[in-house]
Amino acid sequence: MTDTLTPVLTDNWDAERAWTLAAYEERGGYAALDKAFAMTPDDVIDAVKESGLRGRGGAGFPTGMKWGFIPQDNPKPKYLVVNADESEPGTCKDIPLMMASPHTLVEGVILSSYAIRAHTAFIYVRGEVLHVIRRLQRAVQEAYLAGHLGTNIHGSGYDLDLIVHAGAGAYICGEETALLEGLEGRRGQPRLRPPFPAVAGLYASPTVINNVESIASVPSIIANGPSWFAQMGTEKSQGFGIFSLSGHVANPGQYEAPLGITLRQLIDLAGGMREGHELKFWTPGGSSTPLLTPEHLDVPLDFESVGAAGSMLGTRALQLFDETTCVVRAVLRWTEFYKHESCGKCTPCREGTWWLTQTLARLEKGQGSESDLDLLLDQCDNILGRSFCALGDGATSPISSSIQHFRDEYLAHLTHGGCPFDPVASTAFAPAGATA
């Protein structure tokens, strides 16, 4: 394990006009293409398998293995779909990446499509980030003009079309099958599985869906070799990743480091917590991952260790909250988000988030009784693992983990007859030294 930053994806972000083709090529961009075209597609898949790259979208499924599931004897076209619908509260890695260096993603798309033998690829971008969409579209245009996309790329005989598709503003479309529905022009609601997308995905054809960061990591793997990648990180969580620090931290931002780094190290790199404050709780991978507390500061941020600590690595969206923050209030805000974003397809998520919000809102106002905490936990129990997709599960994570770690704070609302915190104290414009 290393304890320093390993800028790979973020390496060129400080370059002048880093998002242009010229700037990208100046740093050796698109060189991996020729190397890959000299390999067979299966060799490219093997290289990615060997690197140990695991899905950077949160679930951590081995990317190379996912590619290997594509049935190459299926006569239908194969598709690569990049999930760039980054919407998870706290998650902020794909959008900065596409903003700063869209060509990294485009190059990754070409390599990955070549590996799975796709001739059409899609980037499904969150519709709200118009600036990023424009950068991506321009990057794709530049790549076409430079011969990196289109027919007979680099004289290899390989053809690829890349389409940038803007979503219409639904968190659920980050769920891969709902994303496919949206891409096909329908309402974004998750599909029944099986069939899995690898067998019948986009337009009922074999489809690989990968996160932006996973695909953007491929050029470096091809350029530097799988062992270069695998030497970083931990035994089962290899390589690097972008850690997005946000909240009550001195220098919020994206920190690219090997998997297995700890939050304590990251906070140090970020200049510590907000002046004069201490960490109270944090999410390791966005709001859908159970909360952790300062006692978890030294948990290695890899898939296995965070799992063992009772949460999930998720998207490495590290939201940091200091002692000025009311956990009930934070959890209520997240729950309102899930209620707003529940697609409505299945009962537990649709009705459950509706009810959870009401119960939490009453608790925040100091209404109700201690038994309402049991009611909340029972509601969560009836949603977790009962809903159609993971959105419902994610909605329960902040609630059950916050009750686990901060039960007394919930009760304080009841005894205090309302929230005992000063809501101003937690804000960015709070006067220095403000306390709860």
Partner 1 sequence: MTATDKAPEKVDVDLVTLTIDGVQVSVPKDTLVIRAAEQVGVQIPRFCDHPLLDPVGACRQCLVDIPDAGNGRGFPKPQASCTLPVAEGMVVNTQATSEVADKAQQGVMEFLLINHPLDCPVCDKGGECPLQNQAMSNGRGESRFAESGGVKRTFPKPINISAQVLLDRERCVLCARCTRFSEQIAGDPFIALAERGALQQVAIYEREPYESYFSGNAIQICPVGALTSADYRFRSRPFDLVSTPSVAEHDACGAAIRVDHRRGKVMRRLAGNDAAVNEEWISDKDRFAFRYAQVEDRITYPQVREDGELRPASWPEAFAVAARGLREAGASAVLTGGRLTAEDAYAYAKFARVALQTNDVDFRARPHTGEEASFLAAQVALSGGVTYSDLEAAPVVVLLGLEPEDEAATIFLRLRKAAKRGRTQVVSVAPFTSRGLAKMKGRLVPAAPGAEVQAIESLKDAAHGVTKDAIVLVGERLAQTHGALSAAVALAASTGARLAWVPRRAGDRGAVEAGALPNLLPGGRPVTEAAARVDLAAAWGVATLPTKVGRDGNAIVAALAKGDLGGVVVGGVDPDDTSDPAAFRAALDAAGFVVSLELRETDVTRVADVVLPVAPVTDKAGTFVTWDARAREFDAVFSNPSSLPDLRVLAGIADELAGLGQGSPLGFRTVSDVRAEMQSLGPWDGARPALDAGKAPKPAKAPRKGETPFVLATWKQLVDLGSMQDGEAHLRATARTPVVRLSRASYESVFGMLDAATGDERATVTGDRGSITLPVVVADLPDGVVWVPARSTGRGVLAELASPGSAVTVKGATS
Beta bridge partners, 166, equal 125
Q: List the interface residues with partner 1, window 173-232 (CB under 8 A).
A: 187, 192
Rounded to the nearest whole angstrom, what is the least distance from the CB of residue 399 to partner 1 in the complex?
15
Rounded to the nearest whole angstrom, what is the least distance from the CB of residue 14 to partner 1 in the complex?
40
- Does residue 348 interact with partner 1 by CB under 8 A? yes
Spatial distance between the Cα atoms of 333 and 324, rounded to a whole number of angstroms? 16
- Does residue 387 interact with partner 1 by CB under 8 A? yes
Spatial distance between the Cα atoms of 92 and 86, rounded to a whole number of angstroms? 7
Only one of the segments 18-26, 235-243, 383-391, 403-411 lies at the binding site for partner 1 (rule: CB under 8 A); that segment is: 383-391
Residue 247 or 352 having the CB closest to partner 1? 352
Structure tokens at 385: 């693992």
Name the CA dihedral angle for 33, 36, 40, 45, rounded to a multiple of 10 degrees.
-110
78 phi-psi bin (left φ>0, alpha ψ -120 to 50, beta other): beta
Residue 266 or 346 having the CB closest to partner 1? 346
Rounded to the nearest whole angstrom, what is the least distance from the CB of residue 182 to partner 1 in the complex?
13
Rounded to the nearest whole angstrom, what is the least distance from the CB of residue 335 to partner 1 in the complex?
12
Rounded to the nearest whole angstrom, what is the least distance from the CB of residue 78 to partner 1 in the complex?
22
- Does residue 362 interact with partner 1 by CB under 8 A? yes
Residue 41 or 348 having the CB closest to partner 1? 348
Say if residues 60 and 239 touch (Cβ distance below 8 Å).
Answer: no
Sign of the C-alpha dihedral, residues 302, 307, 312, 318?
Answer: negative
List of residues 6+ apart from 200 with CB closer than 8 A: 206
Spatial distance between the Cα atoms of 379 and 363, rounded to a whole number of angstroms? 15
Q: Which of 11, 351, 377, 422 binds partner 1 (CB under 8 A)?
A: 351
Say if residues 211 and 55 touch (Cβ distance below 8 Å).
Answer: yes
Rounded to the nearest whole angstrom, what is the least distance from the CB of residue 148 to partner 1 in the complex?
38
Instruction: Count the site residues for partner 1 by CB under 8 A.
Output: 36
- Does residue 339 interact with partner 1 by CB under 8 A? yes
Say if residues 410 and 363 touch (Cβ distance below 8 Å).
Answer: yes
Only one of the segments 99-107, 131-139, 384-392, 416-424 lies at the binding site for partner 1 (rule: CB under 8 A); that segment is: 384-392
- Does residue 352 interact with partner 1 by CB under 8 A? yes
Only one of the segments 32-40, 246-254, 279-287, 337-345 lies at the binding site for partner 1 (rule: CB under 8 A); that segment is: 337-345
H-type alpha helices, 193-292: 197-200, 212-224, 226-230, 263-269
- Does residue 323 interact with partner 1 by CB under 8 A? no
Residue 38 or 192 having the CB closest to partner 1? 192
H-type alpha helices, 18-153: 21-26, 31-37, 41-51, 63-68, 94-100, 102-116, 130-145
- Does residue 350 interact with partner 1 by CB under 8 A? yes
* Chain positions contacting partner 1, by CB under 8 A: 170, 172, 187, 192, 339-348, 350-355, 358-359, 362, 367-368, 372, 375, 378-379, 381-383, 385-388
